[in-house]
């Protein structure tokens, strides 16, 4: 049995990118920086069937792990459509592989959470929204949470990474639907670090709704807070 890995991201054991690329164009994007360094990489959306086959083969014999799928892009952007370079069918092929690898938990992140709605998620998939301002639209989360049980991802979570703008009151409403909160900062020197009181504030809101919190070291928080929801604890 292949041992689970340990990844610098902290909350995941490994990353896989059977679909890569993103057109959101965020100024702080790590994937963009990697593409600048390594010309073989690209931010153009693309499906990589050979990577999907490798993911299926290698993970079939790996200890139960948390796998972040799509760390080099956004698999659920609004550019994913029939006839495009990445189609909903490509995403379904990835989800089918995730369903077969039932010992693992697969985590996705998007800045376009309405993109989740058209798929039936296997029960081992966790779907997150990535936000920098802590003000995700509660309407979207009510919609996803309200899907029939067999069309809903196993759990949904919020990633404030990098946390660049203090949240507004809407986040309290969202925590009724979220099962996990991740907070992170920007990587590098001379970058913005969220003030500690912002983090205290959002952590308090999450805890009031019994939402576990994971704060990445790059957020610069004074305490180590690394909680996982029950369903994501795969150690043992």
Instruction: Take residue 77 and report the two structure tokens written for it.
Output: 């952007």
Asked if 179 and 144 count as a contact pair (C-beta separation under 8 A), the reply is: no
State the binding string over 32-71 for ligand SF4 (x if CB under 6 A, else -). x---------------------------------------
Q: In DSSP terms, which residues pair with 15 in a beta bridge?
A: 68
The single residue among 74, 101, 119, 174 that binds ligand SF4, judged by CB under 6 A, is: 74
179 binds ligand SF4 (CB under 6 A): no
152 conformational bin, left if phi > 0, alpha if psi -120 to 50, beta if neither: beta
Q: Is 166 in the site for ligand SF4 (CB under 6 A)?
A: no
Owner of token pair 């058209």: 118
Binding window for ligand SF4 (CB under 6 A); candidates: 26-34, 60-68, 139-147, 179-187:
26-34
Q: List the one residue from 26, 41, 147, 170 that touches ligand SF4 (CB under 6 A).
A: 26
Q: Determine the 3-state secondary structure of 178 from DSSP.
A: coil
Dihedral sign, CA of 172, 12, 10, 160? negative
The answer to whether residue 24 forms part of the interface with ligand SF4 (CB under 6 A) is: yes
Note whether 82 binds ligand SF4 by CB under 6 A.
no
User: With CB under 6 A as the contact rule, which of the stretches 17-25, 168-176, 183-191, 226-234 interacts with ligand SF4?
Assistant: 17-25
Give the pairing of strands 66-69 and 155-160: unpaired
73 sits near ligand SF4 (criterion: CB under 6 A): yes
Task: Map residue 77 onto helix, strand or coil.
Answer: coil
Site residues, ligand SF4 (CB under 6 A): 22, 24-26, 29, 31-32, 73-74, 111
């Amino acid at each position: 049995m292949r041992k689970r890995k340990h990844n610098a991201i902290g909350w995941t054991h490994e990353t896989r990118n059977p679909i890569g690329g993103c057109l959101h164009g965020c100024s702080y994007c790590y994937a963009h920086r990697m593409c600048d360094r390594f010309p073989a990489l690209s931010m153009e959306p693309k499906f990589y069937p050979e990577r999907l086959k490798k993911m299926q083969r290698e993970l079939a014999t790996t200890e139960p792990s948390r796998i972040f799928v799509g760390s080099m892009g956004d698999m659920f952007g609004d550019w994913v459509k029939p006839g495009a370079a990445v189609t909903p069918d490509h995403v379904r092929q990835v989800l089918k592989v995730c369903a077969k690898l039932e010992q693992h938990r697969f985590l996705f992140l998007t800045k376009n959470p309405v993109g989740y709605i058209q798929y039936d998620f296997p029960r081992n998939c966790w779907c997150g929204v990535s936000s920098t301002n802590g003000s995700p639209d509660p309407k979207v989360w009510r919609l996803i949470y309200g899907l029939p049980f067999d069309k809903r991802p196993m759990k949904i979570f919020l990633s404030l990474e990098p946390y660049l703008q203090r949240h507004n009151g809407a986040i309290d409403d969202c925590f009724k639907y979220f099962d996990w909160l991740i907070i992170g900062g920007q990587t590098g020197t001379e970058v913005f670090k969220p003030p500690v009181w912002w983090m205290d504030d959002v952590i308090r809101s999450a805890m009031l709704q019994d939402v576990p919190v994971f704060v990445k070291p790059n957020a610069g928080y004074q305490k180590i807070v690394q909680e996982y929801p029950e369903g994501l604890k795969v150690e043992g």
